[in-house]
Amino acid sequence: MTEVILEARNVYKTFQISAGAFRPKRPLHAVNGVSLKVHRGEVLGLVGESGCGKTTLAKMLLGLLPQSSGELLVDGEPVGDAHRLHTARMIQPIFQDPYSSLNPRKSVGAIITLPLKVQNEPNPETWRKRVEDILDIVGLPKQVYGNYPNQLSGGQRQRVAVARALINRPQVVICDEPTSALDVSVQSQILNLLQDLREELGLTYVLISHNLAVVEHMATRMAVMYLGRVVEEGESQRLFKEPRHPYTRALLQSVLTPEPDLGIPDAHLGAVYPNPVDPPSGCTFHPRCIDVMGNCSREAPSPIPTENGHVECHLYDTDAAA
């Protein structure tokens, strides 16, 4: 197993949510005790419904949001204020929407040069050459250096966002829905570019996506989040073939197929996603679970080790089954 480049140790993030005038604020546990290890060269796919805590976790990994408790480490160094430049050098984001993530008033050259300035890179006279080199690597002609984002197509803008993320040669890239704002015709080009760059530059990715086909195509490992917890984690091919957690099974069953006769798949998720301010007792998935058992509403399941990962479900709890 390769070295761990990114690690979350029992990380919590709690927001205090207003419940209305004259009412006390209530805690919302957006991330509720997450422990994860990402090894160098892996692509960790982070999946789950909206509001499950994926983006909050990603923001904490980037040092954009402090955790309430627990530890986040990138290459063995804590992520956070005191280590902001180190964190930014090691880990960079690519966001969903290249239309809003690029400053429309700055030229492509200025956008990609900014991280070099922030990191006080030496030899400013070489910066233009470095920018032109990274433009070449992401498949853009160096003539776009003086262009503005509105002069580029969606796919070209996302390539600029990739170039900006990679100019300081980070070790880890957090890809937050990197293709969902793009036309279908250019989505695969950007995914292939990310794949090629990972191999060429030895990058590690955390890939957040609603699109399970994208995760299956890219990810080597997968972590499934539900109400702030990683309920199942493991090698991606194994999870797609033999999902263990009932929620993982439901997510995979909910994928639309290109067969019109098969209609809209029934994921058996039943009740709506619960209110995270008032989560269900015991296993928080129990109101929607088709395998629910007597103890599920009373006792929260603990992580149970699997080969190369874990699952949180009483179905695999040998003590409870005994």
Min dist. Cβ of residue 224 to ligand SF4 (A): 11
Q: Which is nearer to ligand SF4, 70 or 274 (CB)?
A: 274
Min dist. Cβ of residue 318 to ligand SF4 (A): 14
| Residue 13 in tokens | 């993030």
Measuring CA to CA, how many Å separate 11 from each of 29, 32, 41, 179, 202? 11, 7, 23, 28, 27
**To which H or E segment does residue 211 belong?**
none
Distance CA 84, CA 78 (A): 10
Question: By the 8 A CB rule, do 95 and 176 touch?
Answer: yes
| Residue 14 in tokens | 């709690």
Return the closest-CA partner of residue 160 out of 144, 179, 180, 181.
144
Distance CA 37, CA 40 (A): 10
| Residue 46 in tokens | 């982070």
Q: Which is nearer to ligand SF4, 62 or 269 (CB)?
A: 269
The single residue listed with the structure tokens 């408790």 is: 69
Min dist. Cβ of residue 319 to ligand SF4 (A): 13
Min dist. Cβ of residue 293 to ligand SF4 (A): 5
List interacting residues with ligand SF4 (CB under 6 A): 245-246, 283, 285-286, 289, 291-293, 296, 301, 313-315
Min dist. Cβ of residue 312 to ligand SF4 (A): 7
Min dist. Cβ of residue 296 to ligand SF4 (A): 3
Q: Which is nearer to ligand SF4, 155 or 301 (CB)?
A: 301
Min dist. Cβ of residue 215 to ligand SF4 (A): 21
Q: Which is nearer to ligand SF4, 65 or 292 (CB)?
A: 292
User: What's the angle, vertex CA 196, arms to CA 139 and CA 161, rounded to 5?
Assistant: 50
Length reported for the chain? 322
Distance CA 5, CA 103 (A): 30
Q: Which is nearer to ligand SF4, 88 or 292 (CB)?
A: 292
Min dist. Cβ of residue 276 to ligand SF4 (A): 16
Return the closest-CA partner of residue 92 out of 15, 19, 197.
197
Q: Which is nearer to ligand SF4, 5 or 222 (CB)?
A: 222
Q: Which is nearer to ligand SF4, 64 or 315 (CB)?
A: 315
Decide the pairing of beta strands 43-47 and 221-226: parallel
Distance CA 113, CA 163 (A): 10
The single residue listed with the structure tokens 């937050």 is: 176
What does DSSP assign to residue 64?
S
Q: Which is nearer to ligand SF4, 1 or 321 (CB)?
A: 321
Distance CA 291, CA 29 (A): 25
